[in-house]
Chains A and B, each alone.
Chain A
Amino acid sequence: MAEILTKSRARNIFYGGSIFFVVVFVAMTVHSHRYVVNVSTAGMPLSEEVVRGKHVWEKNSCINCHSLHGEGAYFAPEVGNVMTRWGVLDSPEDAFETLKAWIESQPSGIEGRRQMPKYELTDEDMRSLAEFLRWADQTDTQGWPPNEAG
């Protein structure tokens, strides 16, 4: 073992193998990138409103309490499928109304209950956020989450 695997051989395997895996990974990334654009997120157009909603989502750091497609913090419910859970996936108007009502009712102030902070969002922000969440909900996530509970 000691004679077959010398230090310089180990080094060469490390460099050569790493380059090989990087190349494979980059090729698969290119394919995945195209797949996302053309297949998995093609269910609903990536409109300006959706993009605006994504920025509302980001600016308020929602990800540090909620999870989205299972990623984020685990302090508050998953929102990748929240529009399905609310039964408003197919109606932009209902989605907006429900989201607005929810956000405006927060914080609940109920003792012993996790509190969502108060967010002062304009109707336009709310509408964009609702559209963003409807868009995300229509992504083909290989069947995840297992059920409506998220």
Chain B
Amino acid sequence: MKYQSQKVAYWYFLAAMALFGIQVLGGLLAGWVYVSPNFLSELLPFNVIRMIHTNALIVWLLLGFFGAAYFLIPEESDRELWSPKLAYVQLIILLVGTLGAVGSYLVGIHGGREFLEQPLWVKFGILVAALIFLLNISMTVLAGKKTAITNVLLMGLWLLSLLWIFAFINPDNLSLDKMYWWFVVHLWVEATWELVMAAILAFLLLKLTGVDREVVEKWLYVIVATALFSGILGTGHHFYWIGLPGYWQWIGSIFSTFEVIPFFLMMSFAFVMVWKGRKNHPNKAALLWSLGSSTVAFFGAGVWGFLHTLHGVNFYSHGTQITAAHGHLAFFGAYVALNLAVFTYAMPMLRQRAPYNQVLNMVSFWLMTGGMAFMTFVLTFAGTIQTHMQRVVGDYYMDVQDSLSVFYLMRFGAGAAVVIGALLFIYSMLVVRDREIIAPGPAASVPGE
């Protein structure tokens, strides 16, 4: 850590991890309701649990991105943050808004557009926080060095904040509502967030592998070009069945197929950089998360996305457990794991220590990744059966669901592994030990055979 103001990131990461804990516990609870539907049904209905699960996810990922930006921009721009004080103000606004949103969900006050349920004052709070953030990082970058990483990161963050405007636009016409809703939802996770992801990944690989900046930055531009060239018109894969023109079936199928490319490139990028890298960075756990994130993102977002993106397939699979399988693995790989990579990389520096608890951290990686993979597989099986029974044969929804219960039981088990992994991760970040639980071997003095 070169600059004092990078310390701001510490508090963002702490807040993000607290919400991460809430998010996965909410997910576990929702998973249990699938197994035992009467559980809490009067006190805390499924729709409220789900709002907490999804909203907490979105907010903690954003907190992680903001923290990552505050951590890496001073280093990239070679100067202190424009205003650390504003960064703290921004964090307080976001936390008050988050607690306010959770509190109002619990007493039954919420909007009704999926993921955008926050009460209006919270939405405005998020907007104000985003503007403070943009001002702060833009002033920092403008006064300092401009690199490809800061260019792409800023562009991603500016665009995602501008798209937030559509959270306020709710047309009376349901089909228009849905179309503009996707301007936030799709153009966040399948376009602008990919810019943020690629920029952060490039920064991590630059630091962890020591590969020449020119090489990293060229890759970065190629990756984000493929992300936007495919992702913008790829929005069309959400427009098949919501009342929009039929041409979206072709535009959406073709361009969203190309959405696999940026994820394939990010995975290749990560592995090639490690292959070329000469640096033997001590933080192995951060490297594991970086490689893991790009790999799982390729499978979750890329492969599982392509699985049901062609309109001929999607006609049958739309809105089944196939979608749920894809959503879980894509979010975990692309955005959860990337955030955890940044936390793993930055936290030791923010606490001015050597990397610590790497063994526990790596155990948490395998627990979470294994759990998410298993969850994805069982939901994919459930979705395949559901698609056939409900969409091909025409059996009624609840009859089909009753025959899927074994998969929901297995999903709960997978979710429990993820929760244990998440809690272990938080423990390994916050509870500092002096030594690793498994002592590392001596540095290799003799090359292996």
- Contact flags B170-191 to A (C-beta < 8 A → 1, else 0): 0011111111000000000000
Q: Are B391 and A147 in contact (CB under 8 A)?
A: yes
B392 on interface, CB distance cutoff 8 Å: yes
A residues 12-32 with Cβ under 8 Å of B?
A: 13-14, 17-18, 21-22, 24-25, 28-29, 31-32
Residues on B lying within 8 angstroms of A by beta carbon are 33-34, 36-38, 41-42, 45-48, 50-51, 110-114, 117, 148, 151, 172-179, 214, 217-218, 221-222, 224-225, 228-229, 232-233, 235, 238-246, 248-249, 251, 315-316, 318-321, 323-324, 390-392, 394-398, 400-401
Cα–Cα, bound, A22→B221 (Å): 17
Q: Are B391 and A146 in contact (CB under 8 A)?
A: yes
Cα–Cα, bound, A75→B408 (Å): 11
Q: Are A149 and B113 in contact (CB under 8 A)?
A: no
A63 on interface, CB distance cutoff 8 Å: yes
- CB-CB under 8 A for A61 and B397, given A37-B173, A68-B174, A107-B42: no
Cβ–Cβ < 8 Å partners of A111 in chain B? 38
Across the interface, A7 reaches (CB within 8 A) one of B36, B148, B172, B241, namely B148
Q: Are A69 and B394 in contact (CB under 8 A)?
A: no
Cα–Cα, bound, A41→B225 (Å): 36
A122 on interface, CB distance cutoff 8 Å: no
Cα–Cα, bound, A139→B240 (Å): 13
Cα–Cα, bound, A29→B238 (Å): 13
A87 on interface, CB distance cutoff 8 Å: no
- CB-CB under 8 A for A149 and B243, given A33-B176, A46-B172: no
Q: Are A69 and B235 in contact (CB under 8 A)?
A: no
Known: A74-B321, A118-B42. 14 other contacts (CB 8 A): A11-B151, A13-B225, A14-B225, A32-B245, A36-B179, A36-B243, A40-B244, A40-B245, A59-B110, A64-B51, A69-B178, A135-B174, A140-B243, A150-B390
Q: Are A69 and B47 in contact (CB under 8 A)?
A: no
Cα–Cα, bound, A53→B67 (Å): 41
Cβ–Cβ < 8 Å partners of B222 in chain A? 5, 10, 14
Closest to A70 in B: B319
Closest chain A CB from B413 CB (angstroms): 19
